[in-house]
Structure 1
Amino acid sequence: MSASTEPSGWTGTTPDSEQPRFPTRLAIGLAIGSFCWVVAYLGAVAVLLPARIAEIDPGNKAAIIALNSTVAMVVATIANLVIGAFSDLTRTRWGRRTPWIWIGAAGSLASLAALGQVSTAAGLIITWAIYQLFLNAIVAPLLATLADRIAPRFRGSAASAYALGLGFGSGLGQVIGAQFLADTTGGFIALGVLTAIVAPAASFLFREASSLPMPRKAFTKEMVLDNFVFARHDARDYYLALFGKFFIQVAKFAVQGYLLYILTDYMQLEKAGAGRYISLSATIIMVAGILMAFLSGPIADKLKRIKLPVVLSALMIAVGVFLPFLSATPEMIIAYAIFAGIGFGIFNAVDQALNIAVLPNPATAAKDLGILNFANTGGQIAGPLLAAAVITASGYRSLFVLAAVAALIGAALFIAIRRVR
């Protein structure tokens, strides 16, 4: 690329003055987009993928699932950063986000359909890794659209719309996948079609302008450092948000990852009873998440405060994950689900708005949001690992202390953010 003069007034974001009314079309597009990718992903990863692995190699299914998860995590982490960076640099008449969403949608459809055809474990792992690559070509540009096109005063509500799509998609994904257990090939195709809907929906609802007038960057060492590595300038609040998110995810997955064993080993329930409480707690958390998605963002926008609800959500999560420490009774799991469910719901609804508010450079929004997603991946890994160490050393009650402390550390890191109220 050759360098060019930056267009007058180009900032990479939408200021409040240019968006006097709430961008309903964009919010609907974000909700549909998040629903389309997560409903297919969860329908596949939680239901159809394990079923397909059992069809291919039932004797080694546990080992295959573990290896597949590890490979997918590595690919998804790298893809989120790299695709986000390339999206930031894309200059086309169709914009810099929409083309990648189309690529991701087409590739997701093709790779999901292929999963129903592979006949070896190696082929399945490779195909699932390819799907992760294309899936992140949808996710990274979607989140960047929230940063690019939504004015600061509406970001809480728009982030809630995105979270609302995630909430409904998370709830329906496994239900849809379960309908195809007798026909995994057809199920993967159906999920691929659901994913592909995101592309025409994004084109119609986002109506992204051409990115050709945007500044181009010469291929230099500085350009590579700016666009393909961690943020280096004006990034204090950005890293506070990243590590705050990480500790919230640690708190979440330390408990959720061991919920079955908490019920059977700590609370001494039979498996049937544990299953009922797991289903009930999952339903409570899902309903709380959807309800908070409706309420949290608009309230945050009305109060003109994004950091405050994120801090409150962290405190709610801390209370929720600590409650089973007080009593080894299954009723405490319901109390955990209520408090933590409300906390997770508020956090999921407003966290993205906070992330965008602390981005170091709007020109590299997709890449920087991709790096922030490392906190999700890292927390999902670290939470269960730390939980296992604590349980082994001192029992389940210490697990709840660990999770509560992690959530409180997250709250403290969010409080330390200066740029946002």
Structure 2
Amino acid sequence: MILWLGPYLALVGVLVPQQVARINPTQKADIIAVMSTAAMIVSTIANIIEGALSDRTKSRWGRRTPWIVIGSIGTAIVILFWGKSTTAWEIVLSDCVYMIFLNMIVAPLIAVIADRTAPKYRGTISSIYALGSATGQYGGQAVASLFLPVPYIGFIVMAILTALSGPLAALILKEKSTKDMPVEKMTIHNFSESFAFPVKNSMDFYLALFGKLFMQTAAFAISGYQLYILTDYIKLQGGTLQRYVTIISIILMIGAIVMSIFSGPFSDKIGRRKLPVLFAGILIAIGSILPTFTTKSWIMLIYAVIVGIGMGMYNSVDQALNIEVLPDPKTTAKDLGLLNMANNGGQVFGPILSAGAINLIGYNGIFPLACSMAIIGSILIAFIKGVK
């Protein structure tokens, strides 16, 4: 988790925005929005197909491992080409190809939680997953800030880390052979089912899907433009800018890690998933709105403390909640892939909506946007009936 998510957030949150600003400083926000949109479309399709195919994979290394290993190597190669992009279209294309390989890691890896975890421990395992998520997400950005003066070295480092993720996951997972696993013959009909959304007993599934979409949109509305917020809204430059990117990322990471350690097991103990998620949504909303009121640099540190705690609490329980709203255990990876569309969608809609807010209002329009998204997400999750 750390080895693929860290590089991903380092790239899309720090190194690529810097690259875009260097190529076209006047249209940088719009280019990021276009890149995010194209990547989301590709990522959504890839996630569903690759998740469904991993459900059907027969190999001596198991269902998930071959996809994870191949995905990590392919992703690393793409990163090296991405770092050499000199035009906006090359950056957009590189991100799209990157997403094809990245989802070979993501879709099967998420399915492992459902494959191998008893229901009563899902909060704890989700918490461990969130711990890796927090370390990768915010630690990656902190590390990336060190390479702002030498960006392509940063791309190389991120490629190496990603390449290691698949082989290490294979060693840890130690999947059993699925060569003798019964698999229905692939036809046009059952292949098309890989794209089918559940229709029976699925209301909770869709509430979780759209709740997750709004929560992730809230997160990425700000983090997707963090570098530009610091340069164009807070007005930081040079060493001060680099220092703040690092400090904010570390604060977010520490808050998320601390809450990841405690929230999942606490959720298991009290037998509730929604309560921690709802409280997390409130914290994310509060933290997101604060920078509206001042452009002083310290406000971004307060934002980081509150949102870091909220995201840590949310991510630590979110995967357990997602598994418990799945309508059919036979299509676990496919349905989790559909739920993961909310992550992809948030990574796209966040920057797109933020770009609109910037063009209409200015950078101070991003923060009430993120706040409202977190509130709507929390309300949707509150309406889930089949999970306490």
Report if the CA contact (8 A) 1:115-1:185 is conserved: no
Q: What amino acid is aligned across from residue 312 of structure 1 in structure 2?
A: F
Query: Which residue number corresponds to residue 144 of structure 1?
Result: 111
Q: What amino acid is aligned across from residue 153 of structure 1 in structure 2?
A: K
Question: Offset of 1:299 from its aligned partner?
Answer: 1.4
Query: Which residue number corresponds to residue 35 of structure 1?
Result: 2
Q: Does 1:76 align with 2:53?
A: no
Decide which moves more: 399-408 or 86-95: 399-408
Query: Which residue number corresponds to residue 226 of structure 1?
Result: 193
Q: Does 1:204 align with 2:171?
A: yes
Aligned residues: 384
Decide which moves more: 73-82 or 141-150: 73-82
Given the superposition, is the C-alpha separation of residues 398 and 112 from structure 1 closer, same or farther in structure 2, using an over 3 Å criterion?
closer
Q: Does 1:360 align with 2:327?
A: yes
Q: What amino acid is aligned across from residue 378 of structure 2 in structure 1?
A: A
Give per-residue Cα distances to partners, 1:112-138, cap 9 Å, x unaligned. Answer: 344466777666654443222111101
Given the superposition, is the C-alpha separation of residues 309 and 170 from structure 1 closer, same or farther in structure 2, using an over 3 Å criterion?
same
Give per-residue Cα distances to partners, 1:243-275, cap 9 Å, x unaligned. Answer: 111121233344455667878998xx6545995
Q: Within 1, Cα distance between the matches of 2:58 and 2:219? A: 39
Give per-residue Cα distances to partners, 1:135-178, cap 9 Å, x unaligned. Answer: 11011111011111111111112122222222222334345445
Report if the CA contact (8 A) 1:38-1:170 is conserved: yes
Q: What amino acid is aligned across from residue 79 of structure 1 in structure 2?
A: A
Report if the CA contact (8 A) 2:107-2:333 is conserved: yes
Structure 1: which 5+ runs fail to align? 1-33
Give per-residue Cα distances to partners, 1:283-330, cap 9 Å, x unaligned. Answer: 3322211111111112112222222211221122233334456x5474
Give secondary structure in 2 for the equivalent of 1:36.
helix
Q: Within 1, Cα distance between the matches of 2:214 and 2:196? A: 22
Given the superposition, is the C-alpha separation of residues 415 and 53 from structure 1 closer, same or farther in structure 2, using an over 3 Å criterion?
closer
RMSD of the alignment, in Å?
3.7
Question: Offset of 1:52 from its aligned partner?
Answer: 6.4
Q: Within 2, Cα distance between the matches of 1:386 and 1:125? A: 18
Q: Within 2, Cα distance between the matches of 1:120 and 1:131? A: 17
Q: If the length of structure 1 is used for normalisation, what is the TM-score?
A: 0.77
Q: Does 1:101 align with 2:68?
A: yes
Query: Which residue number corresponds to residue 263 of structure 2?
Result: 296
Question: Offset of 1:212 from its aligned partner?
Answer: 3.6
Question: Offset of 1:357 from its aligned partner?
Answer: 1.2
Q: Within 2, Cα distance between the matches of 1:329 and 1:184? A: 27
Q: Within 2, Cα distance between the matches of 1:393 and 1:53? A: 21
Give secondary structure in 2 for the equivalent of 1:359.
coil
Match of 1:376 among 335, 343, 352: 343
Q: Within 2, Cα distance between the matches of 1:60 and 1:396? A: 15
Question: Offset of 1:68 from its aligned partner?
Answer: 4.3
Give per-residue Cα distances to partners, 1:354-401, cap 9 Å, x unaligned. Answer: 111111222222222222122223233334544565677778887655
Query: Which residue number corresponds to residue 341 of structure 1?
Result: 308
Given the superposition, is the C-alpha separation of residues 185 and 380 from structure 1 closer, same or farther in structure 2, using an over 3 Å criterion?
closer
Report if the CA contact (8 A) 2:264-2:316 is conserved: yes
Question: Offset of 1:71 from its aligned partner?
Answer: 3.3
Given the superposition, is the C-alpha separation of residues 259 and 93 from structure 1 closer, same or farther in structure 2, using an over 3 Å criterion?
closer
Question: Offset of 1:409 from its aligned partner?
Answer: 2.2
Q: Does 1:87 align with 2:54?
A: yes
Give secondary structure in 2 for the equivalent of 1:197.
helix
Q: Within 2, Cα distance between the matches of 1:195 and 1:383? A: 25
Report if the CA contact (8 A) 2:48-2:194 is conserved: no
Q: If the length of structure 2 is used for normalisation, what is the TM-score?
A: 0.82
Give runs of aligned pairs for residues 50-65 of structure 1, distance below 5 A.
62=28
Give secondary structure in 2 for the equivalent of 1:210.
coil
Report if the CA contact (8 A) 2:13-2:223 is conserved: no
Q: What percent of counterpart residues are identical? A: 45
Structure 2: which 5+ runs fail to align? none
Query: Which residue number corresponds to residue 112 of structure 1?
Result: 79
Decide which moves more: 401-410 or 137-146: 401-410
Report if the CA contact (8 A) 1:251-1:407 is conserved: yes
